[in-house]
Structure 1
Amino acid sequence: MNDILVVEDQEFDFRIIKAILEEKHHSLTHATSAEHALVEIHRHLPALILMDIEMPGMNGLELCRQLKQDEYSAHVPIIFISSYSDRQHIDEAFAAGGVDYIVKPFNKTEVQQRVSTYLMLIEATHRQQQISTLKDILLMTSGLAHELNTPLGNCLTASGSLEMQSQTLHQALNKKSLTAKALNSGLQKIDHANTLLMRNLLKTSEMVGEFQTMFNDYSTPDGEAINIHDMALMLFEPFTYQSYPFRLSFDVQGQLHMDHGSNTIQRVLLELMANSCKHAQLEPGDNLEVVLKLEQRGQYAQLIYEDNAAELSAEQAAQILSPFYTTARANGALGLGGTRIAQGITLLLNGSIEVQALRPRGVRFSIQVPLQSQSGSPNRLQAGARY
């Protein structure tokens, strides 16, 4: 079942469309004016819009232009329905952003086929997005298998050594030829193998634990306000005990009101701070500086996170969000932090994220999150003091 919004001020015409499309089991919502349509669209974003051109107040062309200028609704296809069949009206409809044009009186087969065509295109797009997500998951799974290969191989080596040393000692004991020197040597080898085994088992457990966090549920109660300033200060406290003095500064205007996502944003900030500390390459006496900026840009909130932790090339910055990539592998880092950040922003919040290397050192994460969720009431950035 697909959600279709019909914007039509004539009740008779709507009833005809309703009868035609419900025959194909489509779900319809009716708006009698452009103003009514905006309320319905912000309450629930439809998959497709059928829109009359001539309506009292704002006409269909004006509404279409407004919807196409809003990033929240710009991707929704709009099919115009009108009694005008001349070239000028048709050209104006396409120029405003419409994808198709149906002339009244309605032909049932034509309406059903055109609506079905666009709904199939929408479904194909969604399917492609799902395939892309699945490919990302398969890539991460493949990467995890690759990362686990070394510690598991070491575990097998250690286990084999333990078995061999145990057999050697048992054989010597059965033959009553076990000397104190041989016993001491065997026990030392067993201790070494056991240490190797435990170290690699712990490494394996750490990898699996980090991978599991990729799919945590970060649900949030409806209508929760996100105070980036207070949230960052709370997360910042544990990092004050790092090797470098950690200083946090803000350029934040007000609170971010969302109907979902505060847990995700908190997790992203935590990952960003942890990565800053993990990759810091500062001289003694230098401060690890982190700057947070938040502002509204159209229908999006833009959160910028900057640090001065390490010198990165543009190539390294471009790979930060890739699965298992890290510049600190020599220190045992797994490299899932960047992937968790990207997952939280793109998959859970339907946002976007860009990474840029700074000079002389540092990195900037530019995060955009929609102020309107796909399924709820509008989020908003509430005006307030600049911290």
Structure 2
Amino acid sequence: MAEILIVDDVAENLQILQLILRDEGHKVFAAISGEIALNIAHEHSPELVISDINMPVMDGLALCKTLKSSAKTRDIPVIFVSAERETDNIVEALEVGGVDYITKPFKPAEVLARVNTQLKLLDAHRLAVKQQLSQVMNQMVVGIAHEINTPLGAAITAVTHFESILTQLLGAFEQETLSAQQLMDGLSESKQGVALCERNLLRVAQFVKVLKEIARVERPTSPTQLSVIALLNDLKSDWGKKDVQIQVSAVEASFVSDRDILMSVFNNLIENSVAHGNLKSDKAISIEVALKEQHIEFLYYDHGEGLQGISIDELLKPFITTKRGNSGHVGLSAPVTANLISSALKGAYQLLDRGRGLEWMIEIPENSD
């Protein structure tokens, strides 16, 4: 069974949780403070943490933030504990990285159901590791399978909490005890829950999109005859509808390649620039095209801030981002793009740092059939 760390400043609560979990065969570590919990987490690397929110000195929120800030403990799921009438901190608890919550007084069936859900997600993650993929693709797929658990779990929990609020309001309405203040409080809390759900589902959608991009590397390509000018005009048109300006400098040329994958490459680059590049409003993203011996050279640069504070090697690692701009960005644009170019399109790439922002030199064979 699993190794689980439980954290609560009330000894009686620890004893109850220990009994519930040990009866199921789990090995339980108990900590009466956040500081002690951190030491146990670093020493034993438990599979799951269950922590009370309200504790002195280091509360559950601070504990979770600290766990998520360490490479050794950031992947440990954290389930929060809160009294039924103390739901104000639940949204914040999920925002800092919690995956679920349990209410007090403890109900053994609820505790075990929520624990088993997280353990099943962990098992699914371990199973994904065993898949026979290339080393880089395996790292990305496993990473996404794990990373997607947090926003998905938070969204599910937000919906459950929203349902609970509606049930309470409907009950009060049916009993004719619903006050205006209770209704306003319920609607306000519901609005927060809906917003949390929406943010996390959008993040899930980002991960799903990246999974589709990764799958492109493994699937057979469909090369067709392409026109450089037509391809880039379509790209300009698509992004122009999103108020993103692209300046193209190219000569007409024909080549054979997979159009969908090539468009994905440029879309990934542009999305990354928009999310993290801090682009200048008076500068359009530039794409220059040159004809080389047996290949087409695309030079992409965005006039943004470039690779400030991060090396080219780091940028190509999965789940690494510049940490600027869109905080919901999943940090896979660069490595996915690199693998699409080299594996799917049989091309080559080079990242450059020449003071023109994020800059990629991409070489695509004239005929990749």
TM-score (norm 2): 0.53
1:345 to 341, 344, 347: 341
When residues 319 and 306 of structure 1 are mapped into structure 2, their CA distance, relative to the original with a 3 A threshold, is same
Name the structure 2 match of 1:308: 303
- Are residue 197 (structure 1) and residue 197 (structure 2) matched? yes
Give secondary structure in 2 for the equivalent of 1:315: coil
Residues 175 and 277 of structure 1: is their aligned pair in 2 closer, same or farther, counting only changes over 3 Å? closer
Letter in 2 for 1:261: D
- Give the equivalent residue in structure 2 for 1:86: none
Counterparts of 1:158 and 1:150, CA distance in 2 = 12
Equivalent residues in 2 for 1:1-387, closer than 5 Å: 134-166=134-166, 168-169=168-169, 172=172, 177-216=177-216, 219-220=221-222, 224-240=224-240, 245-250=245-250, 252=251, 255-258=253-256, 260-284=257-281, 286-297=282-293, 300-313=295-308, 315-327=310-322, 328=324, 330-359=326-355, 361-371=356-366, 373=368
In structure 1, the partner of 2:52 is none
Q: Secondary structure at the match of 1:292?
A: strand
Pair 1:301–1:314, CA change in 2 (3 A): farther
2:275–2:326 contact (8 Å) kept in structure 1: no
Cα deviation, residue 186, structure 1: 2.5
In the alignment, the residues of structure 1 paired with residue 169 and residue 259 of structure 2 have an alpha-carbon distance, to the nearest angstrom, of 59
CA RMSD of aligned residues (A): 3.4
Larger radius of gyration: 1
TM-fit CA distance, 1:164: 3.8
- Aligned length, in residue pairs: 236
Amino acid at match of 2:226: I
In the alignment, the residues of structure 2 paired with residue 279 and residue 218 of structure 1 have an alpha-carbon distance, to the nearest angstrom, of 31
Instruction: Check the 8 A contact 1:162/1:194 in 2, yes or no.
Output: yes
Once residues 265 and 175 of structure 1 are traced to their aligned partners in structure 2, the CA distance between those partners, rounded to angstroms, is 61
Give the Å deviation of 1:290: 0.5
Q: Say if 2:301 and 2:359, in contact at 8 Å, map to a contact too.
A: yes
Contact 2:279–2:302 (Cα < 8 Å) also in 1: no
TM-score (norm 1): 0.51
CA 1:200/1:281 → structure 2, altered by over 3 Å: closer, same or farther? closer
- The Cα shift of 1:245 comes to 4.9
Cα distance, 1:355 vs structure 2: 1.0
Q: List gaps (5 residues or longer) in structure 2.
A: 1-130
Alpha-carbon distance in structure 2 between the residues aligned to 1:353 and 1:273: 16
Aligned partners of 1:246 and 1:303: how far apart in 2? 14
Gaps of 5+ in 1: 1-130, 377-387
Q: Do 2:296 and 2:366's aligned partners in 1 also have CA atoms closer than 8 Å? A: yes
Distance verdict in 2 for CA 1:244–1:143, change over 3 Å? same
Q: Which AA in structure 2 matches 1:208?
A: V
* Residues 1:363 and 1:200: Cα distance change in structure 2 (over 3 Å): closer
Are the aligned partners of 2:279 and 2:304 in contact in 1 as well (CA < 8 Å)? Answer: yes
Flag the structure with more relative contact order, 1 or 2, with Cα contacts below 8 A and sequence separation at least 6.
1
Equivalent in the alignment of 1:384: none
Aligned to 1:18: none
Would the aligned equivalents of 2:318 and 2:332 in 1 still touch at CA under 8 Å?
A: yes
Is the 1:152–1:200 Cα contact (8 Å) retained in structure 2? yes
User: 1:353: Cα distance to partner?
Assistant: 1.7
Distance 1:155 1:330, change over 3 A: same
CA–CA distance in structure 1, aligned partners of residues 184 and 308 of structure 2: 52
Secondary structure (helix, strand or coil) at the match of 1:181 reads helix
Q: Is the 8 A contact 2:273 2:279 kept in 1?
A: no
CA separation of 1:320 and 1:369: change in aligned 2, threshold 3 A: same
Cα separation, partners in 2 of 1:219 and 1:150, compared to 1, 3 Å? same
Deviations 1:201-242 (Å, cap 9, x if unpaired)? 233234223322332457435xx4332233112211233455
Residue identity matched to 1:255: A
Q: Which residue of 1 aligns with 2:85?
A: none
Give the % identical residues: 25
Letter in 1 for 2:328: G
Alpha-carbon distance in 1 for matches of 2:228, 2:176:
72
Distance 1:245 1:182, change over 3 A: closer
Alignment check: 8 A CA contact 1:289 1:308 kept: yes
Aligned-partner Cα distance in 1 for 2:266–2:301:
11
